[in-house]
Structure 1
Amino acid sequence: MGGVAPAQEQDLHDHASLTGSHRYTVTVLFSSSSRLARTRHLATLRRSVRLLRDFRFEQTRPEVFYGHLAEDTARLLEALHADCTGTGLSGRRILDVGGGPGYFSRAFAARDCAYVTVEPDVGEMAAAGIEVDAAVRGSGTALPFRDGVFDLTYSSNVAEHIPDPWAMGDEMLRVTRTGGLSVLSYTVWLGPFGGHETGLVPHYIGGGFARDRYTRRHGHPPKNVFGRSLFDVSCAAGLRWAQSTGAEMCGVFPRYHPRWAWWMVRVPVLREFAVSNLVIVLRKTR
């Protein structure tokens, strides 16, 4: 893995099965998460409970849910940037891939960042009536920017909504400068919130079942329709992609868990069910 110190090469090797008799090996610097002192300091039980309570407002009062999530995201990225690069966010160029109507812009403006959001859906961009100075309509899998223009790229809860999230991840790295960070955070399908508004249990029976059940009960399809705007994305697939990029992995951890529960990402089967949202932090090395 590019940018890996020799002493780190003895970290955990995780083996998981693919379909058929084939197997793959993923080398993950799980111990690198222990370096994230500022980030770990933020990961308290109190924060986890507060964010969990906010989930009930996602559909009914999105300004509350996304407003609080935006501030939490800005704090998280500020801590990650300090932990991984030794510098703050002030003056940095930041790209938010899938930023929607702009709830996150104010949190980064308060930190003196040059914030750009890219979103493919013009209706989504205008949904909240928020004016963002640098809002670009475009696809996350074909970002309309030149190579290496941003200091930090991130995507929050978008990967599970597109059929090829790793193409988006590759594009995020492409437009990140050498030495910059790329942070991909997404909802894990087998986690408790994998089915989104269709419920905590039905998606375990199947995505199609959960979609159809929701439609029967509410008289209309869910906002996130399985197979069209919601997909089965696993922890294992994300870790496999991260290892293939050649970038330095600065950290892998469950976004909404307190720091004492971060060990769950080490356990192949458990993490698919217990890690509701996986954060992958990469530092571009070339």
Structure 2
Amino acid sequence: MLRADRTGPRPTAERRATLPRPAALIRRAAALVGRKSPSFARRATLRRSLRLLGSFRFEQTDPALFYGGIATDTAELIGDFYRDLTGCSLTGAIVLDVGGGPGYFADEFTAAGARYLPVEPDPTEMHAAGLSVRGAVRGSGMALPFRDDALDICLSSNVAEHVPHPWRMAEEMLRVTRPGGLMMLSYTVWAGPFGGHETGPWHYLGGEYAARRYRRRTGHEPKNRFGTSLFAVRAADGLRWAAHAGDRADVLAAFPRYHPRWAWWLVRVPLIRELLVSNLVLVLVKR
């Protein structure tokens, strides 16, 4: 396992030469904001939604199957937005996955040509699937051990609801992303149907109640323990953070991850988004 330092990985000269300059990327980002049909939107079909939602029943019993599908979808999502932004594929891009766990996403990003680096604070979680990712880093998402402006892409999938200070983590993700680079944060909304994870739907009666009920029913604590490894995060929280980051980044998109394109309007309706968005995706380009 490699330790990262504040210098961080540096792109090669060949990689730098293939990319537009940061100022050009920022201008392209401004042009992309509000586009009705980004590449990923065309992929966001009802069939995709049903496939992803159907895989949730395997999260506890067959995590490789569940996270494998999420990994494929995440690499496609990142690849589409990055291609729209830069005109380039992921080949040679440095991708930091905050909360990367055991490295389920590694194969998908490596197959796309990216240099994939997961960061995970829990050594047990890093080895949970018996996987080994070259260059994996043990560290906290709330204090990333990388220098400023180090990475082409910084992503976090389904992690923000598991840390006590998710917007501190978001700030760190933006800090280490280079100007013109892409940041993607996706997280489970507490008031949605999957907010309580394995303790749902009883989380609607309170996170602590749901955890106690789970313990009584199963004889052991839930993996995602409310107040310790699971926290109530709202869709409004992420949208507010993105708005406040407007002086440092352009928001390319904010949409419900597991919904088809025609249902993305749910994000714009205050109360409904908390109940029906389920998982919010924020995609930003750093200025």
Give the TM-score category using the shorter length. 0.7 to 0.9
Question: Which stretch shows the higher mean deviation, 82-91 or 51-60?
Answer: 82-91
Give the aligned partner of residue 244 of structure 1.
Answer: 244
Secondary structure of 1:142's partner? coil
Amino acid in the other structure paired with 1:143: L
1:275 to 273, 277, 281: 277
The CA deviation at 1:134 is 1.3
Give, in whole Å, the separation in 2 of the partners of 1:178 and 1:271.
Answer: 31
Give, in whole Å, the separation in 1 of the partners of 2:77 and 2:45.
Answer: 12
Secondary structure of 1:40's partner? helix
After superposition, give the CA deviation of every residue in 1:1-56 in whole Å (9 maximum; x if it has no partner).
xx999xx8xxxxxxxxxxxxxxxxxxxxxx93534521101101111111111101
Are 1:150 and 2:125 matched, yes or no? no
C-alpha contact 1:150 1:177 (8 A) present in aligned 2: yes
Unaligned runs of 5+ in 2: 1-24
Secondary structure of 2:231's partner? coil
Give the aligned partner of residue 108 of structure 2.
Answer: 107
Amino acid in the other structure paired with 1:59: Q
The CA deviation at 1:83 is 2.3
Give the aligned partner of residue 133 of structure 1.
Answer: 134
Aligned positions of 1:21-60 closer than 5 A = 32-60=33-61
Aligned positions of 1:1-286 closer than 5 A = 32-199=33-200, 201-245=201-245, 246=247, 247-285=249-287
Give, in whole Å, the separation in 2 of the partners of 1:136 and 1:96.
Answer: 10
Amino acid in the other structure paired with 1:182: M
Unaligned runs of 5+ in 1: 9-30
Give, in whole Å, the separation in 2 of the partners of 1:64 and 1:279.
Answer: 22
TM-score normalized by the length of structure 1:
0.87
The CA deviation at 1:158 is 0.2
C-alpha contact 1:96 1:154 (8 A) present in aligned 2: yes
Give, in whole Å, the separation in 1 of the partners of 2:183 and 2:60.
Answer: 28
The CA deviation at 1:243 is 1.2
Give, in whole Å, the separation in 2 of the partners of 1:35 and 1:259.
Answer: 10
C-alpha contact 2:26 2:285 (8 A) present in aligned 1: no
Give, in whole Å, the separation in 2 of the partners of 1:36 and 1:133.
Answer: 36
Give, in whole Å, the separation in 1 of the partners of 2:73 and 2:269.
Answer: 26
C-alpha contact 1:36 1:251 (8 A) present in aligned 2: no
Give, in whole Å, the separation in 2 of the partners of 1:99 and 1:32.
Answer: 28
Q: Which runs of 4+ in 1 moved over 4 A?
A: none
**CA distance change for structure 1 residues 137 and 4 in 2, over 3 Å: closer, same or farther?**
closer
The CA deviation at 1:244 is 1.3
Give, in whole Å, the separation in 2 of the partners of 1:35 and 1:182.
Answer: 20
Give the aligned partner of residue 15 of structure 2.
Answer: none
C-alpha contact 1:36 1:83 (8 A) present in aligned 2: no
After superposition, give the CA deviation of every residue in 1:45-83 in whole Å (9 maximum; x if it has no partner).
111111111101111111111111111110111011122
Give the aligned partner of residue 23 of structure 1.
Answer: none
C-alpha contact 1:211 1:222 (8 A) present in aligned 2: yes
Amino acid in the other structure paired with 1:282: L
Q: How many residues align?
A: 259
Give the aligned partner of residue 16 of structure 2.
Answer: none
Give, in whole Å, the separation in 2 of the partners of 1:258 and 1:225.
Answer: 30
C-alpha contact 2:189 2:195 (8 A) present in aligned 1: yes
Give, in whole Å, the separation in 1 of the partners of 2:37 and 2:103.
Answer: 28
Secondary structure of 2:33's partner? helix
After superposition, give the CA deviation of every residue in 1:108-153 in whole Å (9 maximum; x if it has no partner).
0101101100000001001111121110000000001111111000
C-alpha contact 1:203 1:210 (8 A) present in aligned 2: yes
Give the aligned partner of residue 13 of structure 2.
Answer: none
The CA deviation at 1:86 is 3.0
Secondary structure of 2:35's partner? helix
Amino acid in the other structure paired with 1:38: S
Secondary structure of 1:118's partner? strand
TM-score normalized by the length of structure 2:
0.87
Give the aligned partner of residue 25 of structure 1.
Answer: none
